[in-house]
Structure 1
Amino acid sequence: MSTSATAYLPFDTVWKMRIEHPYSLFVREGALLWSCGQCPLDSLGNVLHPGDLMRQAQVVAGFIRRFLGEMQSRPSSIGRLVIYYVKTGPDDAARLTRLFHGEFGPTVQVIPVAVPHFYYDGMLIEVDVFASDEKAEGTSFVDEETGLTLQVSDAGPFIWATFSSPRVAFKEIGSRLNRLLVRADLSRDYLLAEQWFLPVGCEVPDGVFSGSDDRIAHSAVQISDAEADIMAELTFAKAPIVDNRPRASVSDTDHLSMSLRMAGGQFHLTALDASPDRSFVEQTASIMKAVEALFADAGVSFRDVRKATTYYVAGSSSDELHDNMSVRNGYYAKPGPASTGLPVEGLAVTGAKVSISLFGVMPRNDR
């Protein structure tokens, strides 16, 4: 199925969170679909199979199949799964990858991301779904010497790419990734969005893309598995990129970092606040206010956001999750975007406690 209309699967018809929120379980825009983090919860918000990672993973896979069906799509439309999980053993990432490849096919891009905790006792996994009814079969490009791998899949309006590198190849990532991109006929000039996942203790790779290290630093989080590969989810547009930087009307630019990139009918924004004197909730408030101003300058709004992802450094209480959500919630109205919020070990920019990523579509004249 493919349609130009926007469709939403309401969150509260399936799960109930312990805080009121405006977000959607799945969002469709034409052929494209995004999910909120799919969790092993029952209809009352209770954790299913607490403490059992693989059983929870199977439950989540079942939810994904069910909800895709409700959105008039098929499991074969899935191009990328980002699997956030609490590490319970050395083989968790491999086991989860095998499980989800078995459920949804071997060419689905699977990104396992170890997080320090979730906010509900016994919950060990949460999965983001990226799908397109126009998805083509994926292709892999491998650097045989180092094991660097680039998986590529045409999603219709843009191209999904997932990069992984053994940590031992850390110093060679830049030049070798660029060579893989050439083999895949991809150019960083068309890079709409990127998110890097670095094992704890690993710094931002130097020279990954010439001249763009600062942007990479602002799109990198530290994950909880020190032995994990360095990974990145990359989204390439098929139209030229327009990069909108904040104008002078955005205050506190010494601590705020924002980038709004547009291509064709889509946009992607990344934002963080590195003020050391603000709590992560205060940083969230600062970011959202600045994003609102930048959106206004660019002619878009929070109504145009389809997928929101927030990474932050905080404790393990649900109150901290809910306090952070409450700030963000005020900028959206139902039916809102698919939204995922995750604690991480750290952000690559010193002083930053929150990183916000927003993917959206340019407003149409008929809205």
Structure 2
Amino acid sequence: MKRTYSWPAGHWGWLIPVSHKHGIRSGRMAYVGGQVDKDMKGLVLHHYDLKTQTRVVVNHIRTVLGELGIALDDIVKLVAFYVNDGSVDEDAFLMDLRSQLGAGPAPALTTVPIPYLAYPGMLVEIDTIAMRGEDQMALPRTVSAPSGHWRLAGPFSQGLRCGDTIFVSGQVARGPSGGVRHPGDLARQTTDVMEHVGRILSEHGATFDDVVKINSYYVDAGHGEAWRQSIDACRAFFPSPGPVVTGIPLRWLPDGLVIKTEVIAMLGADGRRLPRRSVQGQEHASALVPAPFSPALQCGEMIYVSGQVSADAMGTVLGPDALVPQTHTVMAKIRSLLSGFGLSLDEVVKVNAFFKSGGTAQELNDNLRVRSACFTEPGPATTGISLPALADQGLMIDVEVTAMPR
């Protein structure tokens, strides 16, 4: 499958040399790594100015996509990581973001409020997926708006289907009027969220059987049991082999919300379920990815790998509190999982890394240097998000990837 890469002239850079590119296109799929407001030397611009940074980031996304022969109207999914401790009006942020995008059907979107990003003064980082036909024709899209569903500001779409892929925006436990249901109750909110996901999927003729990827962002007070409580409530919705799953702890969500979940599903144009294959085996077992969820899953031309951490099958952390050794361990796990499909790390098109840090560039560079060295130039698009903590004490990094055969 033909690939093209994007690093536009004059585009922002990292503080260290990397193999990663800002964007990659493989067939109909295009991935843009987390875009931020920096200069060519890797220094933050417009410190602590969310509105200006958002405008600059959207322009960066436009530029990267343009080099790949894709427009803003082709965007199908955004994830916006932005600094918010409750003082930022998220609806206003989303309205501003939406106003800068194309005039076509609104993409699916997930917002993730975090206490800081990897550089002081940086307030927003946006991750992008876009789709366009290999013949350069725009692909038809359909959006979902279930009756009685809570409204997503912007407005953005609760769900969007393009080709055989369905993107569901981050779902939360809100009722039709927007009020929060079961405030502070993680298990009950998880069930409510999954029911929202099910309604959106059904509008596209899909079910939970068609889900291939889940990302859950949940509030954790630091005791480490929140993820297990949430995943136990979630697992009842899925058959085996289930989707890949990544759980990311947050300090805060608004209004008593404690979980936000986004999914990707795949369904044939004729409405038939697409064949899937999961990599299993004790050597790939993880306490954070229990059955029926898959460590790695192939569906059609897409391969998704669950968030990998430096822990054994019993959940014992390997190399506790050591970022660089854990990064080596995690990348070796991903390499092993991809080999189960006959692939290497060079088939990876997108990397998402969540790492524990105090919000300094040095901590990003420490793990980025290891991750980048695993890929042959030109490498995949990447997003790196710094967090105060991960799912268990002692964990320092959690990495998920998307791959496509060449």
Category of TM-score, reference length = shorter chain: 0.7 to 0.9
Equivalent residue, structure 2, for 1:269: 305
Distance 1:95 1:226 in 2: 16
Distance 1:264 1:216 in 2: 14
- Please give the secondary structure, in 2, of the residue aligned with 1:168: coil
Equivalent residue, structure 1, for 2:27: 30
User: In the alignment, is the contact (CA less than 8 A) between 1:284 and 1:354 conserved in 2?
Assistant: yes
Normalising to structure 1: TM-score of the pair? 0.86
Alpha carbons of structure 1 residues 347 and 155: separation in structure 2 relative to 1, 3 Å? farther
Q: Could you tell me which of 63, 69, 73 is aligned with 1:76?
A: 73
Using the TM superposition, name which of 56-65 and 164-173 deviates more: 164-173
Deviations 1:254-290 (A, max 9, x none): 6786711001111001122234352233222111112
Equivalent residue, structure 1, for 2:176: none
Deviations 1:284-333 (A, max 9, x none): 21111122223223201111000110112222222211111122122102
- Please give the secondary structure, in 2, of the residue aligned with 1:37: strand
Tell me if 1:315 matches 2:358: yes
User: In the alignment, is the contact (CA less than 8 A) between 2:113 and 2:253 conserved in 1?
Assistant: no
Shift of 1:90: 3.2
Q: Could you tell me which of 223, 227, 243 is aligned with 2:254?
A: 227
Deviations 1:305-362 (A, max 9, x none): 0011011222222221111112212210211000111013443456543221110112
Alignment of 1:196-207 (within 5 A): 196-201=216-221, 204=230, 206-207=232-233
Q: Could you tell me which of 92, 97, 100 is aligned with 1:95?
A: 92
Distance 1:12 1:114 in 2: 31
Shift of 1:164: 1.4
Gaps (5+ residues) in structure 1?
none
Alpha carbons of structure 1 residues 246 and 312: separation in structure 2 relative to 1, 3 Å? farther
Shift of 1:122: 1.2
Alignment of 1:295-310 (within 5 A): 295-310=338-353
User: In the alignment, is the contact (CA less than 8 A) between 2:141 and 2:162 conserved in 1?
Assistant: no
Using the TM superposition, name which of 330-339 and 101-110 deviates more: 101-110
Distance 1:296 1:218 in 2: 19
Distance 1:141 1:207 in 2: 25
Alpha carbons of structure 1 residues 314 and 120: separation in structure 2 relative to 1, 3 Å? closer
Equivalent residue, structure 1, for 2:198: 178
- Please give the secondary structure, in 1, of the residue aligned with 2:38: coil
Distance 2:106 2:237 in 1: 31
Runs of 4+ off more than 4 Å:
200-203, 211-218, 253-258
User: In the alignment, is the contact (CA less than 8 A) between 1:87 and 1:115 conserved in 2?
Assistant: yes
Distance 1:177 1:211 in 2: 11
Tell me if 1:193 matches 2:213: yes
Equivalent residue, structure 2, for 1:5: 2
User: In the alignment, is the contact (CA less than 8 A) between 2:120 and 2:359 conserved in 1?
Assistant: no
Distance 1:350 1:212 in 2: 28
Deviations 1:168-226 (A, max 9, x none): 35153344543443343222222221111224446526533526599889511123433
Shift of 1:101: 1.2
Number of residue pairs matched by the alignment: 356
User: In the alignment, is the contact (CA less than 8 A) between 1:308 and 1:357 conserved in 2?
Assistant: yes
Alignment of 1:101-140 (within 5 A): 101-104=98-101, 105=103, 107-133=106-132, 134-140=138-144
Tell me if 1:237 matches 2:273: no
Letter in 1 for 2:213: A
Deviations 1:221-241 (A, max 9, x none): 123433165322211123222
Distance 1:225 1:92 in 2: 14
Letter in 1 for 2:40: S
Shift of 1:155: 2.5
Alpha carbons of structure 1 residues 213 and 117: separation in structure 2 relative to 1, 3 Å? farther
- Please give the secondary structure, in 2, of the residue aligned with 1:99: helix
Gaps (5+ residues) in structure 2?
133-137, 174-179, 183-188, 268-273
User: In the alignment, is the contact (CA less than 8 A) between 1:266 and 1:361 conserved in 2?
Assistant: yes
Q: Could you tell me which of 154, 163, 187 is aligned with 2:161?
A: 154
Letter in 2 for 1:182: S
Tell me if 1:62 matches 2:59: yes
State the superposition RMSD in angstroms: 2.9
Equivalent residue, structure 2, for 1:325: 368
Letter in 1 for 2:172: S
Distance 1:233 1:24 in 2: 25
- Using the aligned pairs only, state the percent identity: 22
User: In the alignment, is the contact (CA less than 8 A) between 1:247 and 1:294 conserved in 2?
Assistant: no
Q: Could you tell me which of 178, 181, 202 is aligned with 1:168?
A: 181
Distance 2:81 2:196 in 1: 27
